[in-house]
Chain A
Amino acid sequence: MPVWQSIYEELKSENFEIISVAQDTGGEEAAGHFYDDANVTYTALIDVNHQISSLYNLVNVPSGVWVDEGGKIMRINEGTYAKTHFDGAWGTDDYVPIVRDWVAKGADSEYVWDRTKVRESIIQRTPEAERAQPAFRLGGYYFTGGNDEKAEQYWTMAQELDPTSWNYLRQDLQYEDGGSAGPEWSKRRAEIESAGGSYYAPLEIDN
């Protein structure tokens, strides 16, 4: 987050905005202090119902979307770390330079995707996955109201309806033994990776 703040300081005068959205059922209490600690001045939001992931068909965090001046998507659905974490275990520092290039060159940047590539990069949801989002929303309603039993019921339903969503899984695990990056998460990640899949949508820097 301090890294994004420094990038924002560098680029904000070039008609550029960062909108950062925490996908956090725990709300201000869970996410707010991260913004405060980094003294962020970009647009910092907390999205208790994971509305942005629902609208943009995203299944993991962090994820990035480029939106141009006219509201068109230029890139979408990428695991967007600002720097390398944990000795390279997570993320890379390849993303920030391409953001700089886009801000400087706009549509002429070689990192801007064409319409077809954007369309193909949007995750298509099955009818079951479409139902996962109102199920997750319902679980959040009960969580907020203190009904943990029903929260668990509908969060489990959401995970069953959309097993591709890391957000649904990890938000739920946050409130269970082991936490959001505990053994259950590691097991699921290993299953996907051993099958040749990728936990994060891969960054495609070379067009």
Chain B
Amino acid sequence: MNRKTSIAGIAAAMLISGVLNAQSATVLYNDRVVELEQTLPDATDLWVKPEDLTRVNDFVLKPEGACLDALCVPVLQDRDSAMFVTRQGQAWFNVTELADKLQQAYVTDYNDGVWSFGTMPVTRQSFLRGGEAPDFELMGRDGEPVRLSDFRGKKVLLLTWASW
């Protein structure tokens, strides 16, 4: 091909990669670190593709809304809203708007595009009001995940300590 085309090709590739870099984000939730290649640029909010929503916080976007087990937060998907927009055929979901609705705290390093989310109070009422032990999953020292619920049927003494 001639020189003109290849320069245009390089320029296009640079543009695309530049855009991708500008839109990438890292999300922290519990022990997970989720790298998102593309998010919708926004000065204050985190917009992700619907399929990335589940990677970020286990919510699934269904016709009735964003759902986690029995909990569903209604989301209109036939028009733009604070929670959901469509741009050039691509749907985007506003994770921070959902967090606000759930009273889930988050802290953001905007320079690096790192979003750190806290526990979700609305999913914790059985603990806070009912005294149910929150289940957890931590990676064991042998690399196998360990959950509190693995020990149902036993009395468990849960102890925290620290080396420091």
Contacts and interface: CB of A to CB of B under 8 A. Distances in A.
Given A24-B162, A167-B162, A69 B116 contact: no
B134 to A, nearest CB: 4
Chain A CB count within 10 A is highest, among B121, B149, B154, B156, for B156
A41 interface: no
B159 A19 contact: yes
Given A130-B118, A180-B164, A71 B106 contact: no
A134 B28 contact: yes
Contacts of A102: 155
Contacts of A69: 152-155
A19 B151 contact: yes
A119 B131 contact: yes
A23 to B, nearest CB: 5
Interface of B: 26, 28, 30-31, 33, 103, 105-107, 109, 112, 114, 116-119, 121, 127-136, 138, 140-141, 146, 148-149, 151-164
26 contacts: A17-B155, A18-B159, A19-B159, A22-B162, A26-B164, A28-B141, A32-B141, A43-B140, A45-B138, A48-B31, A49-B31, A53-B160, A54-B118, A65-B133, A66-B156, A71-B133, A71-B135, A80-B159, A130-B105, A131-B118, A133-B105, A138-B107, A138-B116, A141-B33, A141-B114, A150-B112
Interface of A: 1, 4, 14-24, 26, 28, 30-32, 34-35, 43-49, 51-56, 58, 61-73, 80, 99, 102-103, 106, 115, 118-119, 122, 124, 127, 130-131, 133-135, 137-138, 141, 150, 154, 157, 167, 170-171, 173-174, 179-180
